[in-house]
Amino acid sequence: MGLDILTLVTFFPLLGIILLLFVPKTQVGSIRAIAIIIAFITLLLSFVMYSLFDPFANGMQFEINIPWITAFGINYHVGIDGISLLLIMLTTILSLIAIISSWSAITTGIKGYYISLLLLETGMIGVFVALDLFLFYVFWEAMLIPMYFLIGVWGGPRKIYAAIKFVLFTMFGSLLMLVALLYLYFMYHSYSGEYSFDLLKMYQMPIPMGAQTYLFMAFALAFAIKVPIWPFHTWLPDAHVEAPTAGSVILAGVLLKMGTYGFVRICLPLFPQATLEFVPLISILAIIGIIYGALVSMVQRDVKSLIAFSSVSHLGFVMLGMMALNVQGLEGSVIQMINHGISTGALFLLVGMIYERRHTRMIADFGGLSKSMPVFSTFFMIVALSSIGLPLTNGFVGEFLILLGTFKANTLYAVLASIGVILAACYMLWMLQRVIFGKITNVANENLHDLSGREKLVLIPLIILIFWIGIYPKPFFIRMEPAVKNILHLMQKSGKEKAQNFEELKFYMDGSKASEYTFKPDGE
C-alpha cells in the first residue's frame, strides 16, 4: 500500500486544485461542483479514517515516517491521536459546509476562491497530522496564504486592513516560533547527535529550565496570537467582520484551534516545567479574555463582531481548561474546541444568510425576524443557546468539564470564569432579542424569504452535531481519553526526568559550554 489514509485525507483537496486549474474560469457551475465533490470525498475519506481509528489504542495511529529532506533530518512524519482525529473531522466537515455555503455568496473570482478554500483545507489538516516540527511549520505557514487571499480579495470594505493585520499578527508569532524551532533542532542534535525535527523524539529530550522558559515563550506567543488570547485578539474582530462568510466559518471554526492545538501538542509535553510556571499568567489572561470578550461583545453593534468577541471569550475557556492540567480540564478544552467550531461556525453561517438578504449586519437594522423568518430564527436560537452552553447542547459539556477541571486546579479561577457563563447569556440573549424578537421595525425585514433548502442542508449537520455532542459525547471522549492521558503522562514523566537530569543539563547549558550548542556545519 503506497497511499495511507492520512496522506490521502491531507492532500486530497490539492487534487481538487489541480482539477480546478484545468477548468476555464467562466464555467462557474462545474467549478462549484468540483469543489463540492472534492470536499465531500475528503469528508468521506475522513469518515473512513474515523472508522479505522482504534479508540482504545495508546499513542499515534496511522503513523508514517519517510525521509523528506535528508540533508537536514526533515521527515514526512504524520500520525494522529484522538485529539487530532476530532479536529480533522471538524476541519473536513466545516470545509465542506463552507464550500457549499459560498454557493450564492461569492460571485467574483470563483475559481481562485475555491482554490483558496481547498488549499486552506489541506493546510489545516496538515497542521493536525504533522508530527515533524518542520512539516508542522510548513503547513502552519501555508495556511496563512489562502486565508490572506480569502479576506483580502473576497472581503468587506476594510478587507485590506483586516487582511494585512491578520497576516502581520500571525507572521510575527510564527517567526518567533521558527527561531524556537531551530533552537530545538540544534539542541536535539547536541542531545542525541542526530539532526531531527521529529516531535515524538523531542518529547523524550530533557530540556533545561532556562531554555524551556524561552522556548515556551516563543511558541506560546505564536499560538497565543492565533488563539487569540487577550490582549493579542484585536486582529480577530477585524478579520471576522471583513472576511466572507465561509472565511469566517473556517477562521473561527478551525484556524483558531491551531493555536490551542499547538499548545496541547507542543507546549505542554515539550516544556512541562515552563508550562507550570506560566499557568497562572495564561490562566489569568484567559479569564480576562473570557470576561472581557463577553463584556465587549455585549455592546457590539455588528452581529459579526459580536460573535468574534464571543470567540475571544470561548477560546478563553479553552485555554483555561487546558491550563488546569488535569483530565477533565484538558478533555473539556478539546471538546470545547470542537464545540466552538460547530457553534460559532453555525452562527457565522446564519449571519451570512441574513447578510445575503439584507446586506447589513447591524443589529439595529433587524428585529422581529421571528415573524418573517421562523425557521431561520429557530436555527439561530438553537445555535445561540448552544453557544451559551445550555445543557444537552454541546457547549455545556465543554464548559462544564473545563470549569470542573479548573475548579480543582484553582478555585478562584473557576469562580471568576463562571461569571463569563452568566455574561454569555447576557450578550447572546440581548442580541437574540434585538434581532429576532420584537416588532418588525424595518420594512425591509417584512418580506424576507425564509431559509432555502440548500441553506437548511448546510445548517442541519451542525445542529445534529450540537445535540449529539450535547447528549451522547461518549464516542468523542473515549477517543480523546488516551491522547489526553498521554499528554499528561508525558508532562509528569518528563517533569520527573528533567528534575533528575537537572545537574547534567546545567552542564550543557552553562555559558562556558554554550559552544556545545553552536552550529557545526560539518556535523562533528
Partner 1 sequence: MNQTLFLIPLFPLIGFLLNGLFLGRLNKKLISLIACGSVGLSFIVGLKMFFQLISLPENTRAIEEILFTWIPSGEFVVSFGYLFDPLSAIMVLVVSGVGFLIHVYSVGYMHDDPGYGRYFTYLNLFIFAMLTLVLANNYLLMFVGWEGVGLCSYLLIGFWFEKKSASDAGKKAFIVNRIGDFGFILGLFIIFWNVRSLDYNEVFVRAPEVFALGGGLITAATLLLFLGATGKSAQIPLYVWLPDAMEGPTPVSALIHAATMVTAGVYMIARSNVLFMLAPSTMTVVAIVGIATALLAATIALAQNDIKRVLAYSTISQLGYMFTACGVAAFAAGIFHLMTHAFFKALLFLGSGSVIHALAGQQDMRYMGGLKRHMKTTYVTFFIATLAIAGIPGLSGFFSKDEILWKAFSSNQGSIWIWLVALFTALMTAFYMFRLVFLTFYGQERMDHHTKEHLHESPKMMTVPLSILAVLSIIGGYVGIPHILGGGNQFEKFLEPVMKGVHHGGEEHALASSGHSAGTELTLMFGSVALILVSIYLSYYLYVKNVALVGRLRNSVSGIHKIIYGKFFIDELYNAIIIRPLVGGSLFLWKIVDVVLIDGVLNGLAILIGDVSLGARKMQSGQLRRYATVFLAGVVIIIGYFALR
Q: Contact positions toward partner 1, by CB under 8 A?
A: 168, 231, 234, 292, 295-296, 298-300, 326-328, 331-332, 368, 370-371, 374, 385, 390-392, 396-397, 400-401, 403-404, 407-408, 414-415, 418-419, 421-422, 425-426, 429-430, 433, 436-439, 471-474, 477-478, 481, 485
Please identify which residue in the block is written with the cell numbers 489545516.
Answer: 124
Q: What distance in Å separates the CA atoms of residue 177 and residue 516, rounded to the nearest whole number?
A: 22
> Cβ 318 to partner 1, closest distance in Å?
15
Cell of 85: 482525529
Alpha carbon dihedral 94, 100, 106, 109, in 10-degree steps, equals 90
Burial degree of 523 (CB within 10 A; 0-12, 13-18, 19+): exposed
* Residue number, 303 or 403, with CB nearest to partner 1: 403
> Cβ 459 to partner 1, closest distance in Å?
15
Alpha carbon dihedral 340, 302, 110, 5, in 10-degree steps, equals 0
> Cβ 381 to partner 1, closest distance in Å?
8
Helix boundaries (H) for 359-473: 369-372, 374-387, 394-409, 411-436, 453-471
> Cβ 128 to partner 1, closest distance in Å?
22
User: What residues does 61 pair with on adjacent strands?
Assistant: 80
* Residue number, 61 or 300, with CB nearest to partner 1: 300
> Cβ 331 to partner 1, closest distance in Å?
5
> Cβ 218 to partner 1, closest distance in Å?
19
Distance from CA of residue 136 to its chain's centroid?
14
The answer to whether residues 218 and 177 touch, using CB atoms and an 8 Å cutoff, is yes
* Residue number, 359 or 449, with CB nearest to partner 1: 449
> Cβ 322 to partner 1, closest distance in Å?
14
* Residue number, 61 or 406, with CB nearest to partner 1: 406
* Residue number, 478 or 514, with CB nearest to partner 1: 478
Name the strand (E) or helix (H) holding 75: strand 74-80
Distances (CA, A) of 49 to 79, 88, 123, 336: 12, 10, 18, 22
> Cβ 13 to partner 1, closest distance in Å?
33
The answer to whether residues 230 and 289 touch, using CB atoms and an 8 Å cutoff, is yes
* Residue number, 130 or 402, with CB nearest to partner 1: 402
The answer to whether residues 309 and 297 touch, using CB atoms and an 8 Å cutoff, is yes
> Cβ 168 to partner 1, closest distance in Å?
8
* Residue number, 37 or 364, with CB nearest to partner 1: 364
367 dihedral zone (left: phi>0; alpha: psi -120 to 50; beta): left
Q: What distance in Å separates the CA atoms of residue 499 and residue 270, rounded to the nearest whole number?
A: 14
Q: What distance in Å separates the CA atoms of residue 347 and residue 380, rounded to the nearest whole number?
A: 7
User: What residues does 74 pair with on adjacent strands?
Assistant: 69
> Cβ 201 to partner 1, closest distance in Å?
28
Q: What distance in Å separates the CA atoms of residue 300 and residue 307, rounded to the nearest whole number?
A: 9
* Residue number, 22 or 472, with CB nearest to partner 1: 472
* Residue number, 347 or 421, with CB nearest to partner 1: 421
* Residue number, 39 or 330, with CB nearest to partner 1: 330
